[in-house]
Amino acid sequence: MTGQNPDKHLPAAVLEVDSLSRSFSVEKSLLHSAVDRLRGIVPQSLQALHEVSFSVARGETLGLLGESGSGKSTLARVLMGIYEPDSGLAKLCGREIFGVSGSERLAVLRDMQMVFQDPFGSLDPRMTVRQIISEPLKIHGLMPRENVDAFLTRALADVGLEAGALGLYPSEFSGGQRQRIGICRALMLNPALLIADEAVSALDVSVQAQILELLIRLRSERNLAMLFISHDVAVVRQISDRIILLYRGNLVEELPADQLLENGCHPYTRHLLAAALFLREGDRLPDASPANVSAKVETGSACCYFQACPKAGKECQQRPQLREIKPGHRVACHFV
Ligand SMILES: Nc1ncnc2c1ncn2[C@@H]1O[C@H](COP(=O)(O)OP(=O)(O)OP(=O)(O)O)[C@@H](O)[C@H]1O
Ligand code: SF4
Ligand SMILES: [Mg+2]
């Protein structure tokens, strides 16, 4: 099994994201907020995404890798319209995603569908599989007039489920089968882009492999663009053509998936790879020891990795730009 796309001549981008930012206000108790106001302290906010830019081409899988809290789901939710962006632009198949409503918004949503992490919570337990997978068709007024069951049966077969599943409820399936139902629902409208947010993280390793294989097959059969989000280095490498790495909402590196291990060079990328590939229980991560962290003073304009970086120097008080060091390989670090 391989995630590498054999088509070398990929057409224009399906998804283009330009300088996308989103912050959340940090919740405080009423008393603390009142004290802060009296002292003239501005309410704090957490920058979940900071000026993130990337694109995904037709038939391509872009892996989005980052630790918990790095902003992966926030990015997916902003793209899906669940959260408003603070600033930035995004286009899907050349159409603006943000600031559109009504039929334009519906058209965007038809072309961009999502598969969620939790195969148990993401399907309504009161609905049969027939209702679940036909719901997107109803919402978009695309129900086939005749032979609805034949149509739905073909859709199920495409994700490896039998026709008998139509009358059953989610509770009657295993986690892997439920994820197949979620994928089927997401593909009913034949979208141009599929966003998979930790779509295999809740599954056993053997079931994970089956779902990854299914996604790779569907992607190549339908020439789908896919944004595959995960904290798991091995899984992202397996399925992706290219990979972007997020650290605290900042895109720190972008490179071809088959170069991650050898050429991934941002200090955070190396830290993540060390954690994923080489450390055994009891080993310490070299990059983020408390001694390193406390010795540094971060300013708002510093590199996002300044506090944890073993290579940080005076220059790192200035935020580094993401710059291309080789075709297809961009890094945000002064010392790479
Ligand atoms: N609705 C919200 N309100 C306040 N803060 C939020 C909200 N959603 C996300 N955040 C914060 O934004 C940051 C990024 O969260 P996000 O869920 O995007 O991370 P993630 O990379 O998907 O993590 P995980 O791997 O755990 O799913 C976190 O610090 C999180 O606490
Ligand atoms: S710019 Fe400085 S702090 Fe940031 S990753 Fe590079 S060396 Fe580390
Ligand atoms: Mg998440």
Convert the pLDDT of each residue in 65-88 to its tens digit.
999 999 999 999 999 999 999 999
Ligand 1 midpoint to CA 252 (Å): 18
Q: Residue 248 Cα, ligand 2 centroid: separation in angstroms?
A: 14
Q: Is the pLDDT of residue 4 over 50?
A: no
| Atom 28, ligand 1: residue with shortest CA distance | 69
- Compute the distance from residue 78 Cα to the ligand 3 centre, in Å: 12
Kindly report the protein residue whose alpha carbon is nearest to atom 5 of ligand 2. Answer: 333
**Residue 36, pLDDT score:** 67
Pocket of ligand 1 (CB under 6 A): 24, 46, 48, 66, 68-74, 231
Poorest-pLDDT segment among 28-37, 120-129, 173-182, 252-261: 28-37
Ligand 1 pocket test target in 21, 24, 52, 195 with most atoms within 8 Å of CB: 24
What is the per-residue pLDDT across 121-171, written as a single tens digit (0 to 9) for each? 889 999 999 999 999 999 988 888 888 999 999 999 999 999 999 999 999
In the prediction, which pLDDT does 87 show? Answer: 97
Residue 42 pLDDT: 59
The residues facing 226 across adjacent strands are: 61, 194
Residue extents of the structural domains in the chain: 13-66+75-246, 265-336
What per-residue string of b and e applies to 45-84 under the rule 16 or more CB within 10 Å gives b? eebbbbbbbbbbbbbbbbbbbbeeebbbbbbbbbbbbebe
CATH architecture of 13-66+75-246: 3-Layer(aba) Sandwich (3.40)
d(CA 5, CA 61): 8
pTM of the model: 0.89
Tens digits of residue pLDDT in 289-301:
334 444 444 457 9
From CA 132, how far away is CA 7, in angstroms rounded?
Answer: 34
